[in-house]
Structure 1
Amino acid sequence: MRSRRAFVSSVVAALLMTVPGCGLLSGNSTDTPPSGPANARIRLGVIPIVDVAPVYIALRKGYFKDEGVDVELKQIQGGAAGVPLLVNGELDVTFGNWVSFLAAQAKGAADLKFVADGYRGKPGMFLVLAPPDTPLHTAADLAGKKIAVNTRGNVAELAVRAAMKAQNVDPGGVQFTEMAFPDMQAALQRKDIDAALVVEPFITRAAQQIGAVTVLDTMAGQAEDLPIGGYATSAKFARENPIVLDAFRRALTKAQRDASTRSEVEAVITDYAKVDKSIASVLHFGSYPNSIDVARLRKVVDLMRANGMLTGDVDPQAMLF
């Protein structure tokens, strides 16, 4: 009798390991999370701005390591710059703005999947700045001026266009010019540009060091909580590495939750963004969401269409990993 029970038990165990959906990597167990990958690597594109603070929190606290993922950081100028690097395989995942991701998908320039949300707008953290002696004071004054954005056709340009239109000002004559965020302060001082769409920590640094003034807050009013950026990968990498991406996302989500505590963000930006503690303590932060809100992304699509920045159809729901 004991021999028969032992035989039956061994058969059942063997079946459980071969039936689809069972086993340690299926992710269907409600008792424990899916097992992470072993020694997997992700080459991640990042920008030295507060938006990506959770990445550095996760590295500092060992969240990626706990999930079995080795994250290698690659510096990029903006979200648009990360897209071709995903396509040609130089990056596995990149932080970027939703506008660049959606535009690339609509144009057929890339086939992308959204891995995680990253940052949403709040007043004071996405500002059009000008030198202290500027004659520019309102949205109307920006008409026809030269305004720097980190990359063309991205969320920064959309934010300026949408904010101007919201105040009944035609942005059509604005001369948008590409410039890396760290270079904007000096360009304002030299009067190479009339204004710049600046993010933190560069907003507070420019205000303290050169007396830069705010001309337009692009995240005020209806634009508050607008999705700014997140993390995307190529559809090819997503198909081939679903377990790795799940592990990456679990670690990042933990860090996104931590970033809701201001001191957690301040602790890392003094290092990777080279921000003095005195500046870090007064920065204006957006919010770090834990999940992607498709309804909000569809509002971004609507804004892109209204401002002539979308040339094809795109459905954020279909782009979710």
Structure 2
Amino acid sequence: MTRTMRGHAIVVGVALALTLAGCGGGGETANTSAGGKGLEKTTIKVGALPVPDAVSVYLANAKGFFKEEGLTVEPVTITGGAAALPQIQSGALDISQTNYVSTFLAVSQGKKIKLVADMYQAAPNTFNIMVPKDSPIKTVADLKGKTIFVNNLNNIATLAAETQLKVAGLTKDDVKFAEKPFPEQGNAINSGQADAGWMTEPFITANQSVFGFRKLADTMTGQTEDFPIAGWMATEDWVQKYPKTLAAFQRAIAKAQQLASSDRKAIEEALPKYTKIDAKTASVITLGTYPSELNENRLQKVADLMLEYKYLTSPVDVKSVIAAPAS
């Protein structure tokens, strides 16, 4: 598996500081009076990237949704869902953000993990292939023989790009994918290290405003329209050991997801508090959507597309990976 969304700060002030914070085990204190819920564990550490995708964990803290459940959640900055997998396996993290491509790759490799809540779904122009303003590349077909930066190889970035190459009559063998963290792509492309870059927000807006980059293709169209991007994961052992704690987390996160999906201002207010996205940028970036419950049919679409493009060698039954909310 590869890491997702990692790197150092870009020259523009809207870049994200994706630095790994220190991790430790969560509190084990039993609680029989936390709202009468008797949580097995009242303090948990939750890994999250400082990006718009993970806003619900910060909204749930700010709005008191976790507190209402008798739960204390300590967000821990991670470099990516794949990188966080060893941390949830070791117990350094209780729950963590993950992207679905990494998740299904891990499951196919025998990792015992569960998806416990949904987080982020793509919308138009949230994941674009970008090129310099004076680039001779005008269509996706013009990428033949060119180098495309992606934040990670063999993951959601390359999968999404490949779907657009297919429409243009190309395959992954017709281009060269090269790994480059989002914050570094703009400068590197400008210096001639690549011809294009697969980017997400706020880097789409940043590179448009600073360098004049233009969109070549929206990679969340066609086969990837409304594509599920990220969710929350835990180990199977953790899910079985802390069912009431998990249910409390799921209820609070669902409330926060509903808030995020209905109130953009709440997101805009939250972003500057846990990312390097300033208020002005937060007000103009393009955002995806925030589903409030895991849907096996939507997520199966990810696994099936991975199988079609040979990211998986055998089918993954998504239903078996989902930890259903407690009744």
TM-score by length of 2: 0.82
Contact map agreement 1:120 1:286 (CA 8 A) in 2: yes
Whether the 8 Å CA contact 1:36–1:247 is kept in 2: the answer is no
Alignment correspondent of 1:300: 302
The residue that corresponds to 2:205 in the other structure is: 204
Aligned match of 1:45 in 38, 47, 56? 47
Instruction: Please give the alpha-carbon distance, in whole angstroms, between the structure 1 residues aligned to 2:146 and 2:68.
Output: 49
Aligned residues: 290
What is the match of residue 137 of structure 1? 138
CA contact (8 A) 1:41 1:72 kept: yes
Residue in 2 that maps onto 1:192 = 193
Q: What corresponds to 1:247 in structure 2?
A: 248
Query: Counterpart amino acid of 1:166?
Result: V
Q: Given that residues 144 and 171 in structure 1 are in contact (C-alpha distance below 8 angstroms), is that contact kept between their aligned partners in structure 2?
A: no
Pairing 1:72-83 to 2, within 5 Å after superposition: 72-83=74-85
Looking at structure 2, the residues matched to 165 and 88 of structure 1 have their Cα atoms a distance apart, in angstroms, of 40
- Please give the secondary structure, in 1, of the residue aligned with 2:137: coil
**Distance in 1 between the 2:92 and 2:190 partners?**
36
Deviates more, 1:111-120 or 1:189-198: 189-198
Is it true that 1:223 corresponds to 2:224 in the alignment? Answer: yes
Number of the residue aligned with 1:169: 170
C-alpha displacement at 1:104, in angstroms? 0.7
Residue 64 in structure 1 maps to residue 66 in structure 2: yes
Unaligned runs of 5+ in 1: 1-23, 26-32
Unaligned stretches of 5+ residues in structure 2:
1-30
Per-residue deviation, residues 225-269 of structure 1 (Å, max 9, x unmatched): 111111111111111111111111111111101102111111111
In structure 1, what is the equivalent of residue 274 of structure 2?
272
Question: Hey, which of these two has a bigger chunk of helix by percent?
Answer: 1
Give the 3 Å change call, closer, same or farther, for CA 301–36 of structure 1 in structure 2: same
Q: What's the counterpart of residue 35 of structure 1?
A: 37
What is the aligned partner in structure 1 of residue 115 from structure 2? 114
Matched, 1:156 2:148: no
Q: What amino acid does structure 1 have at the position aligned with 2:224?
A: A
Q: Deviations over 1:199-236 (max 9, x none)?
A: 11221121111111111101123422111111111111
In structure 2, the residue matched to 1:17 is none
Shift of 1:177: 2.7
Q: 1:38 to 1:68 in 2, by over 3 A?
A: farther
| Distance in structure 2 (CA, Å) of the matches to 1:197 and 1:34 | 48
Q: Which secondary structure does the structure 1 equivalent of 2:114 belong to?
A: strand
User: More displaced, 174-183 or 202-211?
Assistant: 174-183
Larger radius of gyration: 1
Structure 1 residues 145 and 76: CA distance shift in structure 2, 3 A: farther
Residue identity matched to 1:82: A
Query: SS at 1:259's partner residue?
Result: helix
Query: What percentage of residue pairs aligned between the two structures are identical?
Result: 38
1:248–1:171 distance in 2 versus 1, CA, 3 Å = same
Deviations 1:50-85 (A, max 9, x none): 111112211221222222222222222222222233
Alignment deviations for residues 144-168 of structure 1 (CA, whole Å, 9 cap, x no partner): 3322222222212211112221332
TM-score normalised according to structure 1 size:
0.84
Q: Which residue, out of 89, 92, 101, partners 1:87?
A: 89
Preserved CA contact (<8 Å) 1:116 1:249: yes
Cα root mean square deviation, aligned: 2.1
**Alpha-carbon deviation of 1:288?**
0.2
Partner-residue secondary structure (3-state), 2:186: helix
Q: Which of 298, 316, 319 is residue 317 of structure 1 equivalent to?
A: 319
Q: CA deviation at 1:36?
A: 5.9
